[in-house]
Amino acid sequence: MPFPRTSGILLHPTSLPSRFGVGDLGRPAYEFIDFLVESNQKLWQVLPLGPTGYGNSPYMCYSAMAGNPILINLDLLVEDGLLSYEDIGQVPDFPSEKVDFEQVLSFKLPLLQKACQNFVQHSTENLPEEPNENFQPNWAQKLQQEFQTFCAGAIYWLNDYALFMSLKAAHAGDSWHTWDLGIRHREPAAVEAWKLQLKDEIQYHNFVQFIFFRQWSALKKYANQKGIEIIGDIPIYVAADSADVWAHPEIFCLDEETSLPSLMAGVPPDYFSSTGQLWGNPVYDWDKLEQTDFDWWIKRFEVLLDYVDIIRIDHFRGFEAYWAVKQGETTALNGEWLKASGDEFFEVLNEKLGKLPVMAEDLGIITPEVEALRDKFELPGMKILHFAFGGNTDNPYLPFNISRNSVIYTGTHDNDTTVGWFNNLGEHEKQNLLDYLGCTSSDGIHWDLIRLAQSSVANQAIFPLQDILGLGTEARMNYPGKAEGNWEWRYQAGALTHSVSSLLKKLTHIYGR
């Protein structure tokens, strides 16, 4: 659907400054929203917010619908009376410019467990033995009422997620396909036995999700009150080792004996890799999805729309046709394109939920069929300036070739920063860029590309915060195809200066956003 002419910033919340070793949903997040407001921005693209596993990628989560416990702010738990100042007084010496995920988890998770214990203890204190109309619940009992309401509203995904994570812990973190057959196949007797055995652990995971979404909802409310809309991602695929695949194996292509993906997702050789990218996620059984009227996918959209304003569909082209690689392959070279049921899905989605604020990540090998699917449902696609200067004047990423119903980026979380990209450009591509710009400004190449994006006809322009700050390759967020060392970058407290805000505000005003 068409969007107004606006601009915004791309920043995953883990990149916010924080004394707890990783960006979270505390005060710096609110201060970042204030920076957006001061700079006349209207959008904050946050990427996925789910609970991550190996590699720490938010595109490879244990659940498509849960939130990441690592993003919970501990100061807010003190304000809620669930932790004390003493509990968070001794903070490790965390690195300030990147996230050490293992160190953060070993510090935060025991405190979340303590907060849960306090929650359970306080919420049962001083309850009247008999119903009493004069009874006034205390703060803990009100929190318990909120908790019960949340659990009831999230029942579709929360029960499966909480049990799944409890089972993983009970199996020393092993993937669900290695569990005993009874619980691997969710046989009712096995499920009930494990639920009884893991009652306290399940309560803990329910509590953590309640706190995450309570903090996130408060932050989103603040953003919306300030005129900022949140763009959140729906990754097309989910991790093989996830609550979704364990709970809904029938909608994925799995080997019946091993429960491993029989067909794995990825992409053929492209801009990022000469051997393609083998992601390892199971692809969907689109026939089974159609038979369920796409129920699981509809629920995904419903859940996310409760917590974001606009949805960006990652790897949109997979809704038209997807690259499928057989189990056992070690690269994505030997795959094949298979047809998906995207047209049928988006018809059902619109029928059930109405016309939604959705963007399409339409990068990679895009065919006329993918473009037709995108355009049929009037979804804005993405245009990346880093891709614009390597070809001829028919390059679809050049600003004069893009349509209004587009979202233009300098680069994305998968690209180098603009400064790093420019410093590593080949001479031909660099000269094309300089010829196009006419000249470079004293503000730096990053501001030149921000200006170029702002001045384009695209309805929306979005810039990674690294480009706003003029940072180099050291601040890159993600290297596609690289398993480790990603998602660690954080910006420094004090980096969002008035001069940076003033320049961004000036360009935003000049180009009518």
Span 320-337, pLDDT tens digits: 999 999 999 999 999 999
The set of residues, in sequence order, having a beta carbon less than 8 Å from that of 274 and lying 6+ positions away, is none
Starting from the edge strand earliest in sequence, which strands make up the sheet with 335-339, in order?
277-282, 263-267, 321-326, 335-339
Pairwise CA distance, residues 153 & 133, whole Å: 26
Pairwise CA distance, residues 106 & 8, whole Å: 34
Nearest to 95 by CA among 507, 474, 412, 417: 474
Amino acid at 423: N
Give the tokens for residue 504.
Answer: 């961004």
Query: Mean pLDDT throughout 159-185?
Result: 97
- Ramachandran quadrant class, 108 (left: phi over 0; alpha: psi -120 to 50; beta: rest): alpha
Amino acid at 165: M
Q: Is the pLDDT of residue 497 over 80?
A: yes
Q: What is the pLDDT of residue 480?
A: 84
Q: What is the pLDDT of residue 509?
A: 97
Q: Is the pLDDT of residue 220 over 70?
A: yes
Nearest to 490 by CA among 466, 513, 511: 466
Q: What is the pLDDT of residue 485?
A: 86
Q: Is the pLDDT of residue 468 over 90?
A: yes
Which of 314, 320, 416, 448 does the annotation list as catalytic?
314
Q: What is the pLDDT of residue 96?
A: 85
Q: What is the pLDDT of residue 481?
A: 74
Torsion, CA 366, CA 368, CA 373, CA 379, rounded to 10: 60
Q: Is the pLDDT of residue 141 over 70?
A: yes
Q: What is the pLDDT of residue 314?
A: 95
For β-strands 321-326 and 310-314, DSSP reports them as: unpaired
Q: Is the pLDDT of residue 136 over 60?
A: no
Give the tokens for residue 110.
Answer: 């025991």
Is 200 among the catalytic positions?
A: no
Which of 233, 244, 361, 467 does the annotation list as catalytic?
361
Coil, strand, or helix at residue 310?
A: strand
Q: What is the pLDDT of residue 135?
A: 44
Question: pLDDT tens across 38-55, in order?
Answer: 999 999 999 999 999 889
Query: Mean pLDDT throughout 2-23?
Result: 94
Question: pLDDT tens across 73-120, in order?
Answer: 999 999 999 999 999 999 999 998 999 999 999 999 999 999 999 999
The set of residues, in sequence order, having a beta carbon less than 8 Å from that of 166 and lying 6+ positions away, is 194, 198, 201, 202, 204, 205
| Segment holding 224, helix H or strand E | helix 199-225
Is 414 among the catalytic positions?
A: yes
User: How far apart, in Å, do the first and last CA atoms of the chain sit?
Assistant: 18
Is 309 among the catalytic positions?
A: no
Pairwise CA distance, residues 460 & 454, whole Å: 8
Pairwise CA distance, residues 466 & 448, whole Å: 14
Are 234 and 251 in contact, with CB atoms under 8 Å apart?
no
Q: What is the pLDDT of residue 137?
A: 57
The set of residues, in sequence order, having a beta carbon less than 8 Å from that of 395 and lying 6+ positions away, is 387, 388, 389, 401
Nearest to 296 by CA among 249, 232, 256: 249
- Compute CA distances 113 → 61, 188, 202, 486, whole Å: 21, 28, 12, 27
Amino acid at 115: A
Q: What is the pLDDT of residue 133?
A: 55
Q: Is the pLDDT of residue 152 over 70?
A: yes
Q: What is the pLDDT of residue 115?
A: 97
**Could you tell me where the beta strands, DSSP code E, fall in 170-257?**
229-235
DSSP 72: -
The set of residues, in sequence order, having a beta carbon less than 8 Å from that of 289 and lying 6+ positions away, is 251, 296, 297, 341, 345
Coil, strand, or helix at residue 272?
A: coil
Are 233 and 65 in contact, with CB atoms under 8 Å apart?
no
Question: pLDDT tens across 374-392, in order?
Answer: 999 999 999 999 999 998 9
Nearest to 57 by CA among 66, 71, 47, 65: 47
Answer positive or negative: Cα dihedral of 114, 152, 350, 251. Answer: positive
Pairwise CA distance, residues 5 & 407, whole Å: 10
- Triad 123, 23, 502: Cα angle to 5°: 125
Nearest to 374 by CA among 294, 311, 441, 317: 317
The region of weakest confidence among 195-204, 213-222, 268-277, 359-368 is 268-277
Are 395 and 388 in contact, with CB atoms under 8 Å apart?
yes
Are 358 and 379 in contact, with CB atoms under 8 Å apart?
yes
Tokens 């591509």: give the residue. Answer: 429
Pairwise CA distance, residues 386 & 184, whole Å: 45
Which of 414, 416, 448, 467 does the annotation list as catalytic?
414
**Could you tell me where the beta strands, DSSP code E, fall in 184-253?**
229-235
Pairwise CA distance, residues 13 & 94, whole Å: 17
Q: Which residue has the higher pLDDT, 55 or 365?
A: 55
- Compute CA distances 312 → 41, 52, 66, 137, 460, whole Å: 18, 19, 17, 41, 13
Nearest to 359 by CA among 14, 32, 43: 43
Q: State the pTM of this model.
A: 0.95
Widest CA span in the chain:
81
% of the chain exceeding 90 in pLDDT: 90
Question: pLDDT tens across 253-299, in order?
Answer: 999 999 999 999 999 987 667 888 899 999 999 999 999 999 999 99
Amino acid at 399: P
What distance lies between CA 424 and its chain's CA centroid? 28
Q: Is the pLDDT of residue 124 over 70?
A: no
